[in-house]
Chains A and B, each alone.
Chain A
Amino acid sequence: MSRPIAANLEIRSTGKGDHIACRSCGHALAPAGQPWKRHAILRELSMNGAGGKAYTGAREAILRQFGCPGCGALLDSEMALPGEPFLDDIVRA
């Protein structure tokens, strides 16, 4: 049993309970209803030039990319200033 909760995430029911998992490979990230980003692989890159030559002014901001430890699929991204907490999205039901 699985149910999508975000573009690249789903809740999978297993014998050990419900988990948030990667939709590409099924890797379990966190218990359902909990923040999952701290269990992902984090890649941070400067926003300056991140998307091409039009991204020239964004020198201070970083682009956080959260990847699946199982398959490397990109699960989510967010722009932030260094030190800002993650944006936590939690689906409860």
Chain B
Amino acid sequence: MDPITFSIIRHRLFRVVDEAVITLKHVSGSAITNEGHDLMVSLYRADGSLLMGGVGFLHHLTSAAEACKAIIRRFKGQINEGDVYLLNDPYTAALHTSDIYLVAPIHHEGRLVYDIGAMNPGGFSPDSQDIYTEGISSPGLKLVDRGELRQDVLDTLLNMVRNPEMVTLDIRSMIACNNVAADRMLALIRKYGHPTVDEACATLIEQSETLLRARLAELPDGQWQSRQYMDVKGETAKVCLTMTKKGDTLTFDFTGSSPQSRYALNCTRWASLGGLFAPLFPLLCYDITWNEGVIRPITMIAPEGSIVNCTRPAPVSVATVGAIQSVNNAACATIGKMLAASEKYRKEATTVWHANHFAIFMFGRNQRGGQSIGILTETFAGAGGARTFADGVDVGGEIPNPISRMANVETMESIFPLRYLFRRRLTDSGGPGRYRGGLGMEIAITPHDAPDGGLHYVVSGKGAKYSMSEGLGGGYPGAPNRYVWVHNDETGERNADPSFALSLEDMPGRTEDISWGVFPLMGKDALYVAWNGGGGFGDPLERDPEQVQVDVESRFVTREAARSVYGVVTDAGGIVDLAATKRLRAEMRGARMERRAAE
């Protein structure tokens, strides 16, 4: 078709998605949407295939396509203009039950709601041992009929959640978002005519497929492997990936991954597919429209009954920060290795970014007497992975959601009755390497002005035992996460006020490492959370000593790590001793030579 018209329609489709996202954020009142940007809006073809993937959590792009197809199948012959359908069943398409997909005949989108009535508040339910205790789960129902909201359906949903006001706002924001997208699409069709728009959409999908296949053909054939460990309550599960590139195709094979877990970090097949595409879209298709054409050259093998393709009724509510994230990490690692094997694309390679979300949902009576349920949005404040030419960006976000961010401290303190003792970059958390992984963070919070003396929180934190952000080319993985409950039991000498503590070591009270379940934050208790840095790239002994000095001066790296990991000697004033550094590095390389051969 006429290339000018094609380009105009293509850009208009981008803008339709953008306007819909703005509407969603304006109507929703939740920090996770407005601040964290935990949402996704996309356009799909009449058969449910992905047409224009929007920004937001990219795990949803393929899952929401499956949601569209499921709605088309279920309501065949009954789909009318003005309808909106709701689907959140993980065994049909959603990632977990708190991901509500609202599907309308013209466009489709999905996002997280605050609470879904599961065993634990907030949508992530670490205590659940099956899908039946993870809240409402619908394989598809009609929420809006010919433009009229079905109040009976909405009331039924709200009757089963802990925070109906916020859930109402969440759902209405999605309906508004759908309406705006529909209006803009209709305007586009009125201007250019349906045949022209339809032809442009079909061409767009063909173009994406052609471009991705051409890119894959430029990359070397081969196989690359990755492995992720997840720890929950003393049990370790693993996700294994062998990615094979042949010609213009890619196959992701998860054979060898653990059997499905009794804990809720499992994910379904659709969720795994979303997990591997989340890094693939931005790393291999940064200049290609994200749609069905990108999906066609990709094959996934996920053994049934495994942690990456669980069978009903396995629990999945923690999937997005559990197996899905590990699938995402493993795919990111193998794609990074493949890119590093290409002279042309070497500079596009990256180590694993923010590899370990911690879903901490706070809940309880707030300082205004109402109920608050919500996530600590710091979970979105991931660390950038090192590149082949530069350090990772400290607190640089994450690849699966390029626009996510954390809320201001003041926002969180206004939502919950708590106070931040500190929030800052975490020393030594970035994976060492010639180029260092970006730093993660550490925070400490304590109750403040809480009518009930505090509140509680749900934590679904795997990754306290294992680093999850892999390095590349010899670079170390980033640091693991840590979750510490600081007990101050109001009695005896431990009854000290943590208000002015500047570090975990400064805090009075007994510390207890935790990671999974529901815990109190009452009285003078504190919660300390530290999270992973990005993976490093290359040999730490090749890092510019002056850059290590800057790291030490900036408190990004300790003097001890500068010496023991980077082989850089600094004097008492923190200045690099180049001669001593050269000697130490030569000794460290020599020591490597004395080790036994790997076989």
Contacts and interface: CB of A to CB of B under 8 A. Distances in A.
Given A39-B599, A77-B471, A56 B225 contact: no
B340 interface: yes
B378 to A, nearest CB: 16
Nearest to A50: B476
A56 B221 CA distance: 38
Contacts of B428: 51-55
B429 A43 contact: no
A82 interface: no
B442 to A, nearest CB: 9
Nearest to B562: A52
A9 B481 CA distance: 32
Contact of A38 (B479, B533, B558, B599): B599
Contacts of B533: 54
A42 B596 contact: yes
A43 to B, nearest CB: 5
B474 interface: yes
B530 A54 contact: yes
Interface residues of A, number: 51
Contacts of B596: 41-42
A74 B229 CA distance: 24
B11 interface: no
Interface in B569-590: 589-590
B440 to A, nearest CB: 8
B220 A92 contact: yes
Contacts of B464: 57
Given A40-B597, A52-B561, A76 B473 contact: yes
B593 A67 contact: yes
Interface in A31-65: 37-43, 47, 50-61, 63, 65
Given A67-B593, A77-B474, A92-B222, A55 B480 contact: yes
B42 interface: no
Given A53-B561, A87-B227, A58 B538 contact: no
Contacts of B432: 51-52
Q: What class of interface size applies to chain B in its complex with A?
A: 35 or more
B427 interface: yes
Contacts of A93: 220-222
Contacts of A8: 473-474, 538-539
Give the residue among B479, B481, B560 with the most A Cβ atoms within 10 A.
Answer: B479
Interface in B458-488: 464-467, 470-482
Nearest to B589: A72
A43 B560 CA distance: 20
A5 B345 CA distance: 11
Contacts of B229: 61, 79, 81
Nearest to B468: A79
A7 B387 CA distance: 11
Contact of B225 (A43, A57, A66, A89): A89
Contacts of A74: 474, 538-541, 592
B220 A58 contact: no
B565 interface: yes
B226 A87 contact: yes
Contacts of B388: 7
Interface string B335-374: 0010011010010010000000000000000000000000
Interface of B: 220-227, 229, 236, 337, 340-341, 343, 346, 349, 388, 426-429, 431-432, 440, 464-467, 470-482, 513, 530, 533, 537-541, 557-558, 560-561, 565, 589-590, 592-593, 595-599
Interface of A: 3-8, 37-43, 47, 50-61, 63, 65-67, 69, 71-81, 84, 86-93
Given A41-B598, A60-B236, A93-B220, 7 more contacts: A4-B341, A7-B474, A51-B561, A52-B557, A58-B465, A65-B592, A92-B223
